[in-house]
Each structure stands twice: as structure tokens, then as C-alpha cells.
Structure 1
């Protein structure tokens, strides 16, 4: 079993809603007892009306830092392509202080071509985006180390992605949390590959890197025991605007509490 405690997260998808509805959803998520509230880092909706209402990630996290008091907050995940790595690190340090040490720095290589095209970023290829992420991670950690004032804690770094040769190598080198995609079999296989990369870079990833999974379409009765047995400890439920139905998140919180 993992040394990490079981945790439940909600991803408040910042689309098809007014900000008042997003703020209400975040506060409701905190009230029902989730451990983490995530948003995402896109500029347009990923589902529904492609040109529907949408809000930016990091300005929102600054607001959440003030609007909440207990939950950890972060992006699932920030796109490495959209901000200079040193700037992203300083943004993270600032939100860390605003939140009194509740930020998780989630980051990934990026994939949504519309964001790149409409905002003038070079899309490149999966390979170039992953190489850019690998180059950015040392810059981020270096900038965090020299900020004044220093971060309130070692800000946990979450990396999302499942590429077995390159992305999992970056996870092994830099991540505190790995966000994965897929079923129990996929998690088990890729978790073993992550640990192989960990051995290659000299990190005990089996114990040092928390396993995170998305469970939006499943009840705890359907998948919780299998995923937990495979090493997952952070379970995330995505909810969409404008209503932000937290019924399934409440079920997962109850399951978490029953394990304690």
C-alpha cells in the first residue's frame, strides 16, 4: 500500500459558467470535504459550445487562494507552452503565499491545438512539446529556490501524462504527484515503468511520487478498490459548468472517510 493518504479532488472546469457560479462551486467543494480543487489551463471550452464562456487558469487560482481556507488548489494541469518557465515559477510562488501554502503546481506538455493557434503559440509536435517540458522543469525548480520571499513549503509538483519513454522519465526526475489516465491495468503497467525510470535516475518513485487518477465517470463501488490496490491515492472528479454537480464527489468523499 502507498504511504500517501487517500485524497479526493474536484476539477472545476472553468467553462460554460459565470465566475459567480465557479466561485460557488469551489466553496461547495470545500464544504463537502474534498482535499484538492483543480481547474485547467485552456483558453476555450473543451466540450459543449466551442466558443462558450471560459476563464483563464492562473488569475483564477489567485482568487481561489483568497476564497478558500482549507483545500489545496492547482491546475490540472498548466500548459508549459503558455508561460516562460521562470514566470510560471514566480506565479506559483506568489499563489503559494496568497494561499498560505496550499498550491499544487500542476504542469504538462500541452495538447489543445486551438489554444495554440488562437493565442499565437507555436504548436510544434508532441516530441518538441515534451522536450520543452523537460527543459523547463530545472528552470522552474531553480527559480523557486531563489525567490524572495521563498515559497512557504516545497511546492508539490504534479506532472500529467502517460508517455512511457519521455514523459514518465520527466515525472521520475521532477514530480511529487503523477496524474495518469486509464484503467487499473494501465495504471499498474505505467506505474511500474515509472518506477523503472525512477531507478535509472536515483529516485524511489514508488514511495516519493503520489499516483493520481481521474474517476469522473465512475462511482467508488465500481473502481475505487482496484485503483487503490494499484497504488492510486488521489482521485479526481471533473465537473462542468454552469451547474457543477458535486453528487459524485460527495460519494467519493464518503468512500475516503470510510477507509480511515
Structure 2
């Protein structure tokens, strides 16, 4: 677990109930404000509010962000492994990485997970399977993604960071131990030490050093004492869910001040 890295603030722009012009403007403003990472999510329908309301697709949006932005890192929180062939995902990620590089290293983060929103599967014709089968597919898919990165021409501009979300101890955290650079979850500060010990145990079995793993967590519906406790437990990436079109930029400013105080 990497605790000597600065605290970073991510904002997840929920791609629902807004026009893309609103999202484009929010991306520009949040980058100018100093947010470290921008995320969307990988679904085909809204997750709250009107279930048939406005909604936009993740990966095409991320390619636009790669061109629009100059500084922030960005990605999906999280991509669904089930929706696209893993080798295609690797190629898409590599291409977005290059679009975002602009003379330096790329800024794309490959956030991924096994999927859970059954409506996406049913309406787009994917096999929903079971939670276990989807996790097995994620493990195999990540092996293919990383193998494909090794043979693409041109290769990615950097070893693209992999973010994996979830907390299941038998499968998810083993995948984290095998592949992740960033582990994202919703667990509370009191639960983190145990979960990290599980990751360490799996890392020993996988023969991988996870001492540089960045611990990530959520700020939505949490206050600063909660964030202080998560920070004390080792969390260094904090992400705020952000819905529009009435974006609450004052809330983002308050978390940016908290981040800067922590980094002192």
C-alpha cells in the first residue's frame, strides 16, 4: 500500500440526465479548478432518476476527453469487462492513451470491473451469467488486456494504470492483487486494514509486490471526518460522484481545499 503519494481528488461525472455540451463544459471547468482525475461510468442507461432519461456511452466520451483536456488523468469508474472483447479494450485504451499524450505520457487510467447492471446486459444482448462467472471473465480478460498491450504497435506511452473496484475476498481482491495499481472500494476506514491484509495474502500467492498499490475510495455521502479516517487508514485517492446539470462546484472546491490541507 502506497501512503507516501499525495492525496488526489477525482470527480466522477455521471453521464446521465445531461446533454454532452453540459459534460464538456464541466470537464473544462473541473480541470481548470485543479481536480486530479475525471471519471465517468460504463453503463447504457441511467442508474438513478428517470430510468429512460438521457444517457451517453463511456468509451467514446473518454476519447473526447483525451483530446479536450491537457493535464488531468481520466478513465471510467469503471469499465464493464463484459461489454467488449478484452483485446479490443486493450487497443481502445492504448489509442486513448496516445490521444491524451500530447508530447508526453498518456493520462488514461484503465478502470475496470466485472459488471452488475442487469438491464445493460438484457437490452444490449450480453449474457448476464452469474457474479462468479463475470468475475472469472474479468480475471481472464485482464490477462488478455495486459498481453495485448505488450504486442501493440505502437505500444502504450506508459504502463497504463489499472484500477479495479470491489471488495469480494475470494475473487475480486485476488484480481486486485494480480493486476491492480489502484484499488477502489466503498469500504469504511474500520474495514480497510482487513481488506488490505487479504490483498497482501493474495499478492504473496500471485508472486506480486503490491507495496505501491494506491487505495481509492468514495466521497459521495461522506463528510470530512469520514475522509480523515479513510486517509489515516491509507486511502490516497478520493472520488466525488458529481451529477448535473446543476453542478455543485462549491462542493468540489471544499474537497480541493481538504486535499490541499492534507498535502500541506
TM-score (norm 1): 0.96
Q: CA deviation at 1:210?
A: 0.6
What is the CA–CA distance in structure 2 between the aligned matches of 1:186 and 1:24, rounded to whole Å? 37
2:171 corresponds in structure 1 to: 166
Which has the higher mean CA deviation after the structures are superposed, 245-254 or 101-110? 245-254
Note if 1:227 corresponds to 2:215.
no
One of 215, 232, 249 as aligned partner of 2:219: 215
Q: Any runs of at least 4 consecutive aligned residues in structure 1 with deviations exceeding 3 A, and if so which?
A: none
**What is the RMSD computed on CA atoms of the aligned residues?**
1.1
Note if 1:4 corresponds to 2:8.
no
2:147 corresponds in structure 1 to: 142
What is the CA–CA distance in structure 2 between the aligned matches of 1:106 and 1:253, rounded to whole Å? 22
Aligned with 2:29: secondary structure? helix
What is the CA–CA distance in structure 2 between the aligned matches of 1:250 and 1:163, rounded to whole Å? 33
2:126 corresponds in structure 1 to: 121
What are the superposed Cα offsets for residues 194-223 of structure 1, whole Å, 9 maximum, x if unpaired? 111112212232x22110001111232x22
What is the CA–CA distance in structure 2 between the aligned matches of 1:133 and 1:4, rounded to whole Å? 28
Question: How many pairs are equivalent?
Answer: 258
What is the CA–CA distance in structure 2 between the aligned matches of 1:47 and 1:35, rounded to whole Å? 26
What is the CA–CA distance in structure 1 between the aligned matches of 2:247 and 2:66, rounded to whole Å? 19
Instruction: Mark the runs of 5 or more structure 2 residues left unpaired by the alignment.
Output: none
Confirm or deny: 8 A CA contact 1:214 1:237 kept in the other structure. yes
Aligned with 1:87: secondary structure? helix
Note if 1:103 corresponds to 2:108.
yes
Confirm or deny: 8 A CA contact 1:219 1:251 kept in the other structure. no
One of 199, 202, 205 as aligned partner of 1:200: 205
Which has the higher mean CA deviation after the structures are superposed, 174-183 or 55-64? 174-183
2:57 corresponds in structure 1 to: 56
What is the CA–CA distance in structure 1 between the aligned matches of 2:25 and 2:173, rounded to whole Å? 36
Confirm or deny: 8 A CA contact 1:74 1:104 kept in the other structure. yes
Q: CA deviation at 1:258?
A: 1.4
What is the CA–CA distance in structure 2 between the aligned matches of 1:186 and 1:21, rounded to whole Å? 37
Q: CA deviation at 1:3?
A: 2.7
Aligned with 1:34: secondary structure? coil
Aligned with 1:238: secondary structure? strand
Aligned with 1:185: secondary structure? coil
